Amino acid sequence: MNKTIEIQDLGLKDYKQTWDYQEQLFKSIVDTKIKNRREEAVVKTNNYFLLVEHPHVYTLGKSGDMSNLLLNEKQLTEKGATFYKINRGGDITYHGPGQIVGYPILDLDNFFTDIHKYLRFLEEMIILTLAEYGLKAGRSEGETGVWLDVGTPFARKICAMGVRASRWVTMHGFALNVNANLGYFDNIIPCGIRGKAVTSLQVELGVDKVDEAEVKEKLLKHFSALFEAELFQN
């Protein structure tokens, strides 16, 4: 078992380029696993955690409903946004500047083979990070991601999640609103859930700007502890 994870901070990067890169890393892990099984070899599989910020983009998961995108092609262009149908779970979401997006590409055979536990750990990483900023976040029953004021009329989503897994290898991940322009969420029905607000760390703290590098450090600290993993960065 290999419990080391390579952290790659890609900065601001086009969504499609990042998706293609995810697929490349994902395939390299799956191919190693298939080769190990065929040849009865024990070659360690690699694990990666990509951190990235995207230009304005809307993505629709494989179970999503196109009607949850409230813009046509011309309006997308006017807003400087792109749109992709992708192969993760979940419905529609938005990515853009000021949002920390994380894509763990892990071989769960190195950790635990339980996709529900994996999702709960990702949520817990966010919950523990937000607690360091004095925010009490939690899960909303039947809905993925991380929320504030769960169970009240003021419930609002601060982090969206959607993953794909095959042969216990994961891709896609989470999107935490830190300094994001929340106006872009007005153009969709986020995650297909009507009547629920979205928020950001910046809005909740009432500050001009949150230090995103600091947030990343806290996320990685909690991620490492939860997965009992050793992180390294090239």
pLDDT of residue 132: 98
pLDDT of residue 142: 80
The amino acid at residue 193 is I
pLDDT in tens, the chain (234 residues): 899 999 999 999 999 999 999 999 999 999 999 999 899 888 999 999 999 999 999 998 887 888 888 888 899 999 999 999 888 877 888 999 999 999 999 999 999 999 999 999 999 999 999 999 999 999 988 888 999 999 898 999 999 998 999 999 999 999 999 999 999 998 887 655 555 789 999 999 999 999 999 999 999 999 999 999 999 997
pTM (whole model) above 0.85: yes
pLDDT of residue 232: 97
CATH of the domain at 65: 3.30.930.10
Q: Degrees (nearest 5) of the Cα angle 181, 9, 87?
A: 70
| Greatest C-alpha distance within the chain | 57
- Total tally of structural domains belonging to the chain: 1
* Residue 95 CA from chain centroid, whole number: 10
The DSSP output letter for 14 is -
What tokens does 121 get?
Answer: 């750990």
For β-strands 57-60 and 4-12, DSSP reports them as unpaired
3-state class (DSSP) for residue 49: strand
pLDDT of residue 191: 54
d(CA 188, CA 66): 10
pLDDT of residue 90: 76
Among candidate residues 57, 155, 158, 191, the one labeled active-site is: 191
pLDDT of residue 190: 62
d(CA 32, CA 44): 8
The DSSP output letter for 89 is S
Task: Print the domain residue range for 77.
Answer: 4-233
Q: How far is CA 129 from CA 72, 80, 187, 201, 218, in A?
A: 36, 31, 28, 11, 6
pLDDT of residue 193: 57
User: Does 159 qualify as catalytic in the annotation?
Assistant: no
d(CA 51, CA 117): 21
